Amino acid sequence: MDQYGLYVHDQMEWDNWTLFLSGRQDWAMSNSVPSTGTQVDSTDSAFSGRVGLSYRTDWGVIPYANYSRSFSPNVGFVYDASNTRSVAKPTLADQVEVGVKYEIPDTNAVLTANYFDIKQTDGVVFDGTFDTDGNQIQRQLDLHSRGVELEANASFDNGFSLIASYTYMRMEIDAGLPGTVGNQLSATPNHIASLWGHYLFEDGPLAGLGIGAGVRYVGESYGDDGNTFKNEARTLVDAAVSYDFGYQNPNLKGLTLQVNAKNLFDTVKPICSAGNCYWDEGRTVYGSLRYRF
- CATH number for the domain harbouring residue 228: 2.40.170.20
Task: Read off φ and ψ for residue 276, nearest 5 degrees.
Answer: -100, 120
Task: Read off φ and ψ for residue 291, nearest 5 degrees.
Answer: -130, 120
Domain assignment present for 35 = no
Residue 7: closest CA among 91, 70, 66, 64: 70
Domain assignment present for 30 = no
Domain assignment present for 156 = yes
* pLDDT at residue 31, rounded to an integer: 75
When divided into structural domains, the chain yields a total of 1
Domain assignment present for 38 = no
pLDDT digits (tens, 9 = 90+) for 11-62: 999 999 999 999 999 998 877 776 666 777 778 889 999 999 999 998 899 9
pLDDT digits (tens, 9 = 90+) for 181-198: 999 999 999 999 999 999
Q: Which residues of 91-127 are buried (b: 16+ CB within 10 A; e: fewer)?
A: bbbebebebbbbbeeeeebbbbebebebebbbbbbeb
Structural domain harbouring 105: 52-291
* Range with lowest mean pLDDT among 163-167, 194-198, 247-251: 247-251
Domain assignment present for 36 = no
Domain assignment present for 96 = yes
Domain assignment present for 106 = yes
Domain assignment present for 75 = yes
Q: Has residue 77 got a pLDDT over 80? A: no
Bridge partners for 77 per DSSP:
87
